[in-house]
A = this chain, B = another copy of it.
Amino acid sequence: MKKNSTGLRVRLPALIFALEVVIVVLYVVFVTYDDSANAVLQNNQTKPMENSLYQNYSVFADIQVMIFIGFGCLLAFFRRYGFGGMVFNFLTATFAIQWAILFQGFFQFYHDGKIHLGVMNLINAEFACAVVLISFGAVLGKTSPVQLLVMAMLEIPVFAITEWAVLKYLKINDAGGSILIHLFACYFGLGVTFVLYRPNLNVGHPKEATSYQSDLLSVMGTLFLWVFWPSFNSALTLKGDDQHRAVLHTFIGLSASTITAFALSTILSKNGKISMADVQNVTLAGGVTVGASVDMMISPGAAYALGIVGCIACMLGYKYLSPFLARRLRIQDQCGIHNLHGLTGLISSLAGICAILLATEETYGPSLYQTFSYRAPMEGDPQLEELRKLIPDLEAGLGRSAQEQALFQVAAVIGTIAASAVGGFLTGAILKLPYLASPTDENCFDDELFFDVPQEYDQQEVWSPVLKDTCKTDVE
């Protein structure tokens, strides 16, 4: 076996079996059921229909559809890399969730010497998985499944630590994950792709193109993400009116960014026609932009405006920033995650800070101290007793002011970007190690390298000599 060979036969199974041994051992030693899934903890006071399962399962199922079908179809947009997009997404997601159950488990669900597992852990793990899949977008078509598993193996712990530190020490508002998910995923992915820079691909690649069918499949993925995004953004809010607002804002933000994307696509395209790449990506910008303030009383109009602004930034990013990053900064961002998750994440973080600064008891009533729990008075503060007359089960907070919190939000943004960029850079360096079956430049974006492909696959090439020639000059 040559160290630069791209064969999977030994490497992929070896890696997977090694990981499985680790996972099984950790499961057996450390993982048990959480209280609502443990038979011995039920008693005659337990009401089965109040099991936490019923509060979380439908959200979990919606996010499953986003992860496996939404992302899977969306990433299948290359004409000869549909298997790669959809199937590597399947493999990477499945592993990332298992891995995240363990790492998030140790940081967030560990007590009495055990990780306590319930559907809520799965939702959290799917968020971590989304992080990996977004980062995957930066290197789509240029990495082997071995590299993708190694990337997930490294990204999940970095993410779990960052998430834990930010949530425990900074205690930020970020219900839709604009900071922890989208910014982290984006800068991690950019870090990886920076190291994996392939200069030859900057002049275009004959296989880096879509087909009519692959474009349709990819739009289906977009639609699944669009439809269930309100579930994603509202999964981790407080129950009740907070979650209700999160659904409304996400829907409004997505709607605004979608129709804006059509307008901008015709303005900015060469011939005044709609670009399918814009339909597949830019329409979704609003879902990210409303994320950091999605559960707050920002007003429906503000959600609408956020959708428009996010869409404009995302579109301009695709048009002007991505080519610049590739040519000048050696950052080849294959799916443009910096536009859809980075720029929009930054806008969202800023909007979140504004919403925090504007939040008053007049607008929120006493539930201000639940949505912004760090603003609740500290234990022992007589004001806390006053508030508890209104909200009996109010938990003590940190007594922060809105201005103080704004600084914590800024710290979270900076810290997350720093951690993810460094983590991505180091991960990229590891992915350059030999034996990871990295494809050659020529074999990028080509399913034949890693899959048994049906026979007519090859013949597409023979049948389309015109395509073969024109592609090289036309791909941007």
Q: Which residues of A contact B (CB under 8 A)?
A: 7-10, 12-13, 16-17, 19-20, 23-24, 27-28, 31-33, 36-44, 46-49, 51-53, 55, 57-58, 61-62, 64-65, 68-69, 72-73, 76, 79, 82-83, 86-87, 90-91, 94-95, 97-98, 117-119, 122, 145, 209-217, 219-220, 223-224, 226-228, 230-231, 238-245, 247-248, 251-252, 254-256, 258-260, 262-264, 266-267, 269-276, 279, 283, 297, 299-301, 304-305, 308, 362-368, 371, 390-392, 450-457, 459-460, 463-464, 466-467, 470-471, 474
Min Cβ gap A65→B in Å is 6
Which of A118, A231, A260, A274: most chain B CB closer than 10 A? Answer: A274
B17 near A51 (CB under 8 angstroms)?
no
A392 surroundings in chain B (CB, below 8 A): 44
Cα distance, A234 to B220, chains bound together (Å) = 26
Cα distance, A274 to B244, chains bound together (Å) = 44
Cα distance, A370 to B123, chains bound together (Å) = 29
A69 near B227 (CB under 8 angstroms)?
yes
Complex A-B: 6 CB contacts under 8 Å:
A33-B248, A39-B363, A44-B391, A94-B254, A95-B259, A117-B300
Assess A87 versus B219: contact at CB under 8 Å? Given A24-B301, A455-B467.
Answer: yes
Number of copies of this chain that the complex holds: 3
Contact of A244 among B37, B44, B266, B300 (CB under 8 A): B37
A23 surroundings in chain B (CB, below 8 A): 304
Min Cβ gap A38→B in Å is 6
A87 surroundings in chain B (CB, below 8 A): 219, 274, 276, 279
A283 surroundings in chain B (CB, below 8 A): 90
Contact of A210 among B213, B454, B470 (CB under 8 A): B454
Cα distance, A241 to B36, chains bound together (Å) = 6
Q: 9 tightest CB-CB pairs across the interface, nearest first?
A: A48-B240, A9-B272, A28-B301, A13-B263, A27-B301, A16-B263, A37-B244, A40-B365, A48-B239
Contact of A259 among B91, B243, B463 (CB under 8 A): B91
B216 near A82 (CB under 8 angstroms)?
yes
